[in-house]
A and B are shown apart, each in its own frame.
Chain A
Amino acid sequence: MKSSSRILILLSSALLLAGCASTGRIASRPAPTPPPPPPQPPAPESGVEVAPYRPPQVANARPQPSRAVQALLERAEDQQRAGDLVAAANTLERALRIDPNDARVWNRLAHVRLAQGRYRQAAGLAAKSNALARGDAALKADNERIIARARQ
C-alpha cells in the first residue's frame, strides 16, 4: 500500500511538473524529470490507483461556464428546429464568445452553416471543432462527416 501511494504522489507531481515543461531547455536537474503526459490516459495497472489523465494546462485554463453555454446551445437547437438558422448562428456565436474553446459549439455552428448551404464555412468550422475536440471521438467523427458533406 505504501509503495502504491508513493507512486500516486510521484504521478501527480509528474503531472504538475509536466505543466511547466516547454520546448526549451529546462534548467539542469539533479533528478530526472518526468516527461509531459502522453495524449492518451495511461492504462490503469492492477492494484495501483492511477489518477485520471488531465492535460496539465486545463487545470488553470478558462473556467467552464457550462450552464451559460449549455443554455445557449439549447436555445440554438430550438431556433434551428424552428428553421431560424440566422438566429441559431447568432446564438452560437454568442456561446463562442463565452467559451471559444468548446468544440461542441463550433460543431453546432458548422451544422448551421451546412444547413444554410455555406459549405466552405461549414468545413472550416468543423475543422476548427476538430482541433479542439481532444479525445471526443464521436464529435470528431461528426465533424468529419460535415467536412465530407461540405465537399460534395
Chain B
Amino acid sequence: MVTRKKKRSSRAGSRRSARGRARRGHGWGWLKWGLSLTLLLGLLLGGYTLYLSHQVRVKFEGKRWAVPARVFARPLELYEGARVAPEQLQAELQRLGYREVKHPRQPAQWSRSGGRFLFHTRPFLFWDGSEPGRLVEVRAGRQGVTRLRDAGEGKPLDLLRLEPPVIGSIYPAHKEDRVLVKRSDLPDHLVQALLAVEDRQFFQHHGLNLRSIARALLADIRAGRAVQGGSTLTQQLVKNFFLTPERSLWRKANEALMALIVEARYSKDEILEAYANEVYLGQDGERAIHGFGLASWFYFNRPLQELKLHETALLVALLKGASYYNPRSHPERALKRRNLVLDLMARQGFITPEQARHAQRQPLGVAKQKRLGASRNPAFIDLVRRQLRRDYREEDLTSEGLRIFTTFDPWVQARLEQAISEGLARLEKGRKLKRGTLQAAAVLVSPQEGEVRALAGGRKAGFAGFNRALDAVRPIGSLIKPAVYLLALSQPERYTLVTPLEDRPIRLKDAKGRVWQPKNYDHKAHGRVLLHQALAHSYNLATVRLGLDLGLDRVVELLRRMGLKRPVRPLPSLLLGAVSLSPLEVAQLYQVFASGGFRTPLRAIREITDAEGRPLQRYPLEVEPVAGPGPVYLLDRNLVEVMRQGTGKGIRRYLPEKLEVAGKTGTTNELRDSWFAGFTGDWLGVVWVGRDDNRPAGFTGASGALQLWGRVMKKLNPLPLALVPPDDVVYVWVDPDTGYRSAEHCKNAVAMPFIRGSEPRQQAECHESSGIGGFLDSLFR
C-alpha cells in the first residue's frame, strides 16, 4: 500500500467556526435561544465533520483497495537452441501487447522480417531480481532460435527471459479487479484529458466548484430534472468511495462536505492517484474493471504509460458510461465520444488542433481478445487457487496484490485446446454422435521438473465449469497396469521382460463369497505369454495372476510411493484399474515412469512475491527416488513397445515412425471411460474422454483418448524419448517366442534389456555358438 502523507490543515476547523457564528436576534430570549441552538447545531456539525473526517482517513490511509493477486504464465526463455519457432515468438510478443513497428526504438516494440526479429523488451521485476529492458535481435527457424544478440550493445546474449504474460487474477467476492497505478505512472495526456472533460478547475478549487454547480443547477431547473452534474473529480471520487448511488439532497450535502475534507487533508496528486485507481471503466463477465491501470490492459493489452493520445482519450471517454460507450460492443458511440474528448482537449489548449485531428483519425485500437480475465484459463487458475489455498488465506489472495508466477504455458495451452475441440468433433462425427455428447480432460506436464504447463477442464476451455482435469474422478482401467509390471521388474531375480505368464481364466471369491471373473478385452485367453507381451497388449488375465503373485499390498505400497493419495482397497480388481482418479492424479503417477523412477510432486506455481516484488514463497523442485532406474528403464522400453506393436500403435497416424514415445491405453467397463497416458522426451500427457452422465461413450483408450493425445503431440512437435540405459542394464539377444537366449544372427532374434544378472540362461535352438555370424559379434562384444 502506498502510504499517504498527512497534511495537517486548519482549514476544516476554521470553516467549522465560521458556521458557528450567530445571527443578531430580536431580544435577549431569542438571542439566548438562537445562540444555544446555533451552538448545538455547530457542535453537531462539528462532530459530524470529525466523524466524516475519520472515515475519510480510514479509507484513504488504510488499505484502500483490495488489489487482487495477479497470476502470471511462465516467462518465455530465449537462447540459442531454444525450441521456439518464429510463429511462437511472434505470438508471445503479441500476447505481451508489444507493438509491431518498422524500427523498434522504445520498449514493447517489435519488427520481423522472415525469421529475424528485432524487439525492445520491457523491464520486468522477477522473483529473483529484475530483467532490464533491452533491444534484442533474434533469429529463429523451424528448429528454433539460432541466434540471440543484444542489438543495443552489439554483443551476443546467452539468455533472455521475456516478461511473463498475465493469465488471470484472483479477485474477491465483490468482483472488483484493478491494477494499481501511482501518480507518476499517469501520462500527462491522461491527466489533461481528465481535466478537459471532467473538471477544468481541478487544480484551483477546494473540492467544490461553485460556478459549475450553479451552472448545473440552472440547467437542471431549465430542464425540470437533473440533467447536468457539476461534480469535481474530488466529488466523484468521494461518491465512488463512500456513498451509495442514490440521488438525494442529503447525499449531495454529505458528498460536498466530504469533498472539502478530502481536499483539506490530501494533496491534488494524491486525490488524482486515488481517482485513477478507483473509477469504474468496464465489465468482463462478472469481473468489474476498476482504475486506469487495469483498463489499459483490458482494452489495449499494454501498460498505461505506453498508451497513445487517442487511446488515453478513449479511456477518459468511458468515464461517462463504461457500458454505454463500450468500444467492443458499441464502437461507433465510443469513437464519437473519444473524438469529443480530443476536441475538448484541443479547445482548452492541452493539445494542438493538428494533434487532435491526427488522433481522431486513428481507429479505436482496442485489443480483440479480453486477455486478462480469469475466464480465459479457468481450469488452470482453479488449480493455482487450490495450491494457494493451502498456504494463504482467501482475503490475502484477493487483496494484497500478490504476484503469482506459475508454470502455465499459453502457447501449449492453445495447442491443447485446439486438439481437444478438433479431436472430439472428429470422434463424434465418426460415430454419428450428437455434437457435444463427449467430454474430455487433459493435463500436460514437463516430466523431469513436474511442472503443469497446460490443463483442459473440459471441451470448452474458456468455460469455467466443472474442472474435469481435477474433479472428474474416474476408474483408470488399464492405466494401472504399468505399476504392477514395474513392481514385477523390480524383482529381477523373479521377473524379466521375457518371463512367461499365464493368460488363463481365473475365478476369485471375496470374503463375502462373491465371485469375480475378469475377462480379456477380446474375451479370449492367450495362454502362455511373455511378460512384455502381456503389458503391450494389455492382457487382463495375465496381469491379475501376476499381481496376485506379487501381492496386492505391495502393489498398493508402490502406488503410494509413486504419489497416490486416495484411499484404495487392496482388492484383486485394483489390478485392472478399479480405482478412481482424476487426470491430474494419473499424471502424478506417470511422472515417475517418465522421469526414470523419480517422483516430483506436480506443481503449478513456482514463486510468489508481494506487490513490491519481495519474494514470499517458493515452491521448489523436489525429487524422490521411488523406483530403481533399471526396472523403470525396462518398463519404459515396454511402454515404447505398447506404442509400436501394442494397443497404442494407432499413434502413428499422428507421429512419424521414428519418433519414440511411450504410453498406455486405459478402457473401463462398457467403454465408459477412455484413457491415455503417455510421454515423449519433453512432454507427459494424460487424456480422458467420456461422458458427464457416466454412460458408455463407446471408445476404448486407443480409439478415443489416444487420438486426442496424438493430435496434441503432433502440434507440439515433441522430442523423442531418449531413454538412457542405466549401468545395471544389459542388452541380450533373445528368441521372441520363448524368451530364451539367442544370438544376433538367429532368425527373428530381438535385443532385449535385462537387469544385469537376470539375462535368460536357457538357450534357444539357435544361439551364440551355433551358426556363423560371429563376425559382428566380435566387433561389438
Q: Which residues on A are within 8 Å of B, measured CB to CB?
A: 7, 10-11, 14, 19-26, 28, 32-39, 42, 55, 57-58, 60-68, 70-72, 86-87, 89-91, 93-94, 96-98, 100-101, 109, 120-121, 124-125, 127-128, 131-132, 134
A66 to B637, CA, bound (A): 28
B611-637 CB contacts (< 8 Å) to partner A: 615, 618, 620-625, 629, 637
Q: Which 10 A-B pairs have the closest CB atoms?
A: A68-B79, A100-B448, A65-B81, A71-B158, A57-B722, A61-B722, A24-B641, A23-B637, A124-B623, A32-B745
Asked if residues B81 and A64 are in contact (CB atoms below 8 Å), the reply is: yes
DSSP majority for the A interface?
A: helix
Asked if residues A68 and B158 are in contact (CB atoms below 8 Å), the reply is: yes
Q: Which residues does chain B contribute within 8 Å of A55, judged by CB atoms? A: 722, 724
A63 to B719, CA, bound (A): 10
Q: Which residue of B lies closest to A130 (CB)?
A: B629
A39 to B754, CA, bound (A): 13
A56 to chain B, nearest CB (A): 9
- A57's partner among B81, B660, B748 (CB-CB below 8 A) is B660
Q: Which residue of A lies closest to B726 (CB)?
A: A131
- A28's partner among B595, B640, B747 (CB-CB below 8 A) is B747
Q: Identify 18 residue pairs between A and B in the complex whose beta-carbon atoms are under 8 Å apart, listed by A's number.
A: A20-B658, A22-B637, A23-B640, A32-B744, A35-B744, A57-B660, A57-B721, A57-B723, A60-B719, A63-B143, A65-B82, A68-B159, A93-B606, A93-B620, A100-B449, A121-B622, A124-B598, A131-B726
Quick check: is B597 within 8 A (CB to CB) of the other chain? yes
Q: Which residues does chain B contribute within 8 Å of A68, judged by CB atoms? A: 77, 79-82, 158-159
Q: Which residue of A lies closest to B160 (CB)?
A: A68
Asked if residues B79 and A97 are in contact (CB atoms below 8 Å), the reply is: no
Q: Which residues does chain A contribute within 8 Å of B159, judged by CB atoms? A: 67-68, 71-72
DSSP majority for the B interface?
A: loop
Q: Number of contacts between A and B (CB, 8 Å)? A: 168
For B532, B638, B727, B781, the residue with the greatest tally of chain A CB atoms inside 10 Å of its CB is B727
Which of the segments B298-306, B336-344, B352-360, B772-780 contacts the partner chain? B772-780
B113-161 CB contacts (< 8 Å) to partner A: 127-128, 143-144, 158-159
Quick check: is B259 within 8 A (CB to CB) of the other chain? no
For A24, A26, A28, A35, the residue with the greatest tally of chain B CB atoms inside 10 Å of its CB is A24
Asked if residues A57 and B621 are in contact (CB atoms below 8 Å), the reply is: no
- A14's partner among B80, B83, B776 (CB-CB below 8 A) is B776
Given known A-B contacts A28-B748, A71-B159, A89-B620, A34 and B645 have beta carbons under 8 A apart: no
Q: How big is chain B's contact interface, by range? A: 35 or more
Q: Which residue of B lies closest to A99 (CB)?
A: B81
A46 to chain B, nearest CB (A): 14
- B780's partner among A38, A94, A125 (CB-CB below 8 A) is A38
Quick check: is B187 within 8 A (CB to CB) of the other chain? no
Asked if residues A86 and B618 are in contact (CB atoms below 8 Å), the reply is: yes
A64 to B201, CA, bound (A): 64
B597 to chain A, nearest CB (A): 7
Quick check: is B655 within 8 A (CB to CB) of the other chain? no
For B447, B621, B721, the residue with the greatest tally of chain A CB atoms inside 10 Å of its CB is B621
With A22-B640, A67-B159, A131-B629 known, 18 other A-B pairs at CB within 8 A are A7-B779, A21-B750, A21-B751, A22-B644, A23-B532, A25-B645, A28-B747, A32-B744, A32-B749, A57-B721, A64-B81, A65-B81, A67-B80, A67-B158, A96-B449, A100-B447, A101-B722, A121-B620
Given known A-B contacts A23-B752, A100-B449, A127 and B625 have beta carbons under 8 A apart: yes
- B750's partner among A26, A91, A98, A101 (CB-CB below 8 A) is A26
Quick check: is B596 within 8 A (CB to CB) of the other chain? yes
Q: Which residues does chain B contribute within 8 Å of A125, judged by CB atoms? A: 623
A6 to B681, CA, bound (A): 34
A7 to B776, CA, bound (A): 10
Q: Which residue of A lies closest to B83 (CB)?
A: A63
A70 to chain B, nearest CB (A): 8
A19 to B641, CA, bound (A): 14
Q: Which residue of A lies closest to B749 (CB)?
A: A32
* Contact digits for B15-59, partner A, Cβ 8 Å, 1 yes 0 no: 000000000000000000000000000000000000000000000
- A97's partner among B143, B449, B622 (CB-CB below 8 A) is B449
Asked if residues B80 and A65 are in contact (CB atoms below 8 Å), the reply is: yes
Asked if residues B597 and A57 are in contact (CB atoms below 8 Å), the reply is: no
Q: Which residue of A lies closest to B597 (CB)?
A: A131
Q: Which residues does chain A contribute within 8 Å of B773, judged by CB atoms? A: 32
Q: Which residue of B lies closest to A100 (CB)?
A: B448
Q: Which residue of B lies closest to A86 (CB)?
A: B618
Quick check: is B725 within 8 A (CB to CB) of the other chain? yes
For B596, B615, B731, the residue with the greatest tally of chain A CB atoms inside 10 Å of its CB is B731
